[in-house]
């Protein structure tokens, strides 16, 4: 969702055959799309799990989404570590280019004869 805050708007969404009025400052289309994703997920879980009431279906849906969030956070943490490691490696290479050792030419210098 966009970082800019717009005016408050009320959006009517239907999730698992229940209609809700959601107040949002984001694009109403984003809210509708999110609600549709939740509805699709709840419908899928209810179909797979059998005869569950709405509350149990909602709890299973929340657990599924929490698991996805945890996985995304773990992947983001691993990506940050990888980027940090590569950044340190590139900084080290740049340091070598900027200040070569006494007996070694810089990356862009020709060896002295």
Confidence (pLDDT) at 95: 86
End-to-end alpha carbon distance in the chain: 60
Confidence (pLDDT) at 112: 61
Dihedral, CA of residue 99, residue 101, residue 106 and residue 107, to nearest 10: -100
Measured between alpha carbons, how far is residue 14 from residues 19, 24, 106 in Å? 4, 15, 65
**Coil, helix or strand at residue 59:** helix
Strand partners, 15: 18
Local structure of residue 36 (DSSP, 8 states): H
Q: What average pLDDT score do residues 12-23 get? A: 98
- What is the C-alpha to C-alpha distance for residues 54 and 39, in angstroms, rounded to an integer? 11
Local structure of residue 112 (DSSP, 8 states): P
Confidence (pLDDT) at 46: 95
Confidence (pLDDT) at 6: 85
Q: Is residue 88 predicted with pLDDT exceeding 70?
A: yes
HSE-CB at 96 with a 13 A cutoff on CA atoms is: 10
Q: Is residue 56 predicted with pLDDT exceeding 60?
A: yes
Share of the chain above pLDDT 70, in %: 84
Whole-structure pTM value: 0.72
């Amino acid at each position: 969702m966009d970082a800019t805050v717009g005016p408050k708007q009320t959006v009517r969404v239907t999730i698992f055959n229940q209609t809700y009025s959601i107040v949002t400052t984001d694009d109403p289309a984003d809210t509708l799309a999110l609600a549709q994703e939740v509805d699709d997920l709840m419908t899928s879980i209810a179909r797979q799990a059998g005869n569950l009431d709405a509350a149990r279906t909602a709890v299973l849906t929340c657990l599924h989404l929490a698991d996805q969030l945890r996985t995304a956070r773990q992947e983001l943490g691993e990506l940050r570590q990888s980027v940090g490691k590569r950044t340190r490696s590139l900084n080290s290479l740049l340091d070598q280019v900027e200040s070569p050792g006494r007996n070694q030419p810089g990356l862009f210098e020709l060896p002295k004869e």
